[in-house]
Amino acid sequence: MNDIVDLGKRMENASLSKEMAGQTVTVAGWLQDTRNLGGISFLLVRDRSGIVQITCLKKKLGDDAFAKLNAVPRESVVAVTGELKPNQQVSSGFEILPQAFQVIAEAASPLPIGVIDKVGVELDTRLNSRFMDLRKSQVLAVFRIRELLIRGMREYLTSQGFMEVTTSKIVAAGAEGGSTLFPIKYFERQAYLAQSPQLYKQMLMGAGLDRIYELAPAYRAEQSDTVRHIAEFASLDIEMSFIRSEEDVMDTLEGLMEYSLEYVLRDGKKYLDELGVEVSVPKMPFPRITFAEAVKLLEEAGVMVPGDLDTESEKKLGEIMLVRHGAEMYFITKFPSELKKNTFYAMRDPANPELTNYFDLDYRGEELVSGGQREHRIGVLINQLEEIGYDPKDFEFYLQAFRYGMPPHGGFGLGIERVLHMMLRLPNIRECVMFPRDMYRVTP
């Protein structure tokens, strides 16, 4: 048997079909498993698109070649050229009879974690060998769905006239208070990793861009070691001008969620099936309840809310909204000004300054989105900065955009991992990140 394969002729496994019977094809990937029955053996070769069966006949290959093929360690990188033949006993409907076989990179043994073994492995152990963990079909399915979710979001926003932008992730001041900022040494001065592109989004409204979005990393130094928190996450941030109220922003968010989930259902069914997950698309319009109404519902259910909604109260509210409205997604509106104190750019409700034009979008009892109408009046904005003890001089780079004509505007920030975490019912949000960062993990 020839042991040199022309990789220039390689095809992805998913592009093969039984209709190609009789053709000579070349595949390459990782040797997932070998089953040797003596005179015949079956090798499963996996690439990112799927698995193909290589059927080796000892009579045809000879003793030496047959033994060599069956001795290759699992998870080695191999390439195979051979004839594609129909086989109804194989799930794909075909197999490949090898004519040339090359071991490109032999895998060490034992493997740090199994790829197809049914033995349970703790998440930390999996993350320590994440490159190997990502070879598992169920793990990869999460990121296939993530990619489809993001693609659907981009497609929707483009259809609505939004422009994608990129803003700096090294900043001089935080958008949401200093307690969750990661400080960094920036040459001879102190700077921070961005919690959010909030201030820059608003500045772009002053630049006249009207409708923009950014999908980029954001950083929160929260002292939280939970299944819901990570220090680095993907944030989809949106800002739009000439709004009448926060309702315009909420309408855009509804359309975004409906479109992107439908996109996942349409193009990602095989990945959802791989995970054994059913996803439903929420019906528009999403139910809306005020913060005060949410507190009342919780108190009626025996859950006291001393201040803001915590994890327990959010989960309970999710149960209530599902029973009362059949809704997995719902808005909580009109947050009290006191709870949004550090959100100095939040517009107060003109009818009641004790409230804001701010909302959350929750999904099955977990906050996905926070957003609302921003304060575009420079005098009011400065007063709100001073109310919480900030020196407006520290924000002059931001305030300048408000001194020369700022339209009414609003927007929101959405955590991609939060959406996946709840949509796929995963036990830990770290499952939604290829290389997660938390309080303890900075490698790999």
Token digits of residue 390: 């900030």
Which stretch of DSSP H or E encloses residue 382? helix 378-387
Residue with tokens 């050229």: 81
Residue 367 among the catalytic residues: yes
Catalytic residue among 10, 151, 229, 288: 229
C-alpha 407, offset from chain centre: 32
Which stretch of DSSP H or E encloses residue 198? helix 198-206
Of 310, 249, 320, 267, nearest to 289 (Cα)? 320
Residue 372 φ then ψ, to 5°: 155, -165
Beta bridge partners of 89: none
Catalytic residue among 106, 147, 222, 247: 222
Name the residue type at position 330: Y
Torsion sign over Cα 218, 219, 222, 227: positive
C-alpha 112, offset from chain centre: 26
* 288 close to 324: Cβ distance less than 8 angstroms: no
Catalytic residue among 147, 367, 437, 441: 367
| Alpha-carbon span 272 to 112, nearest angstrom | 27
* 99 close to 136: Cβ distance less than 8 angstroms: no
Residue 229 among the catalytic residues: yes
Residue 220 among the catalytic residues: yes
Torsion sign over Cα 16, 22, 23, 29: positive
Residue 370 among the catalytic residues: yes
Token digits of residue 186: 């920036």
Task: Enter the DSSP assignment of 336.
Answer: B
Catalytic residue among 154, 228, 288, 437: 228
Catalytic residue among 135, 220, 374, 376: 220
Name the residue type at position 346: A
| Alpha-carbon span 192 to 185, nearest angstrom | 8
Task: Enter the DSSP assignment of 245.
Answer: S
Beta bridge partners of 182: 193
Helix axes 311-325, 291-300, angle to 10 degrees: 90
Residue 143's SS3 state is helix
C-alpha 314, offset from chain centre: 21
Residue 417 among the catalytic residues: no
Catalytic residue among 41, 313, 337, 370: 370
Q: Which long-range contacts (CB under 8 A, 24 or more apart) does 181-186 make?
A: 181/221, 182/219, 182/221, 182/231
Helix ranges (DSSP H) in 229-343? 246-267, 269-275, 291-300, 311-325
Residues with catalytic function: 220, 222, 228-229, 367, 370, 418
